[in-house]
Amino acid sequence: MLPSILVAFMVLIAVEVADAVTVVVTIAKVVVAVKRNVAVA
């Protein structure tokens, strides 16, 4: 069995990575939306 601290640390890293991916995807969507608006304007 892995130590509880190591498991908690890996979970924390996984959550951080998931948050980072979510932020990147959100920024990408905003950039695409802005480009479309600029193109239309």
DSSP state of 2: -
**pLDDT by residue (tens digit) across 1-41?**
668 999 999 999 999 999 999 999 999 999 999 999 888 76
* Helix (H/G/I), strand (E/B), else coil: 1: coil
Q: What is the pLDDT at residue 1?
A: 60
Count the alpha carbons within 13 Å of 36 in the hemisphere toward its beta carbon: 6
What does the DSSP 8-state code read for residue 41?
A: -
Q: In the chain, where are the structural domains located?
A: 12-41
Q: What does the block give as tokens for 22?
A: 């979510």
User: How far apart are the C-alpha atoms of 39 and 30, rounded to whole Å?
Assistant: 14
